[in-house]
Amino acid sequence: MVRTVAATAAVLAVAAGWTVARASSSPRPADAYSRCLKRANSTLDTEKCQTAELKRLKVRLSAALAKEKAALGHGRGLDRARARWRRFRDAYCGYLFTAYRPATIAPVVAGDCQVRLGRERLREVAKDAQGLAGPDG
């Protein structure tokens, strides 16, 4: 039983490490988050990198959403969508945390999920805002 738990934890740690490394290489391999992850020597260091990246993403996403809100003028609808997206992100990443919970890697997996989804959301909002501006920008 102990061997099974230890083997499972080792497999999960390797899989989560691969996920974090993979997420850090996209979309910009030379960004601050990637550099931070390369210097991380522990789970705690990785969590600090994720926290810093989530703060950066929050600022960038808020600015992108404000730009979109100004272009469309449908503030309440966008606010509802934003709240629903946050609930989805929290629920999905919380699910991953729970799935990995017996291992100490659980917070890293959940943090990676939040960073990955935040980056995807930022790309989508930026793309939507470009479309709203029209072909001439």
Q: Does residue 19 register a pLDDT over 50?
A: no
Number of independent structural domains in the chain: 1
More confident residue, 27 or 47: 47
Give the N- to C-terminal CA distance of the chain in Å, as an integer. 61
Determine the Cα angle at 26 with ends 116 and 83, to 5°.
25
For residue 10, give its domain range: 2-133
- pLDDT value at residue 17: 52
Distances (CA, A) of 39 to 30, 52, 61, 94: 13, 14, 26, 26
Q: Pick the residue with more confidence: 22 or 80?
A: 80
So what's the pLDDT on residue 135?
A: 53
Q: Provide the pLDDT confidence category of residue 132 given band limits of 50, 70 and 90.
A: low
Q: What is the pLDDT of residue 46?
A: 95
Q: Predicted confidence band at 28 (pLDDT cuts at 50, 70, 90)?
A: low
Q: Higher pLDDT residue, 77 or 14?
A: 77
User: What is the CA 133 to chain-centroid distance, rounded?
Assistant: 27
**8 A C-beta contact, residue 64 and residue 85:** no
Quote the pTM value: 0.72
Between these two residues, 25 and 124, which has the higher pLDDT value? 124
pLDDT reported for residue 133: 57
Instruction: Tell me the percentage of the chain whose pLDDT exceeds 70.
Output: 73
Q: CA 29, 30, 33 angle in degrees (round to 5)? A: 85
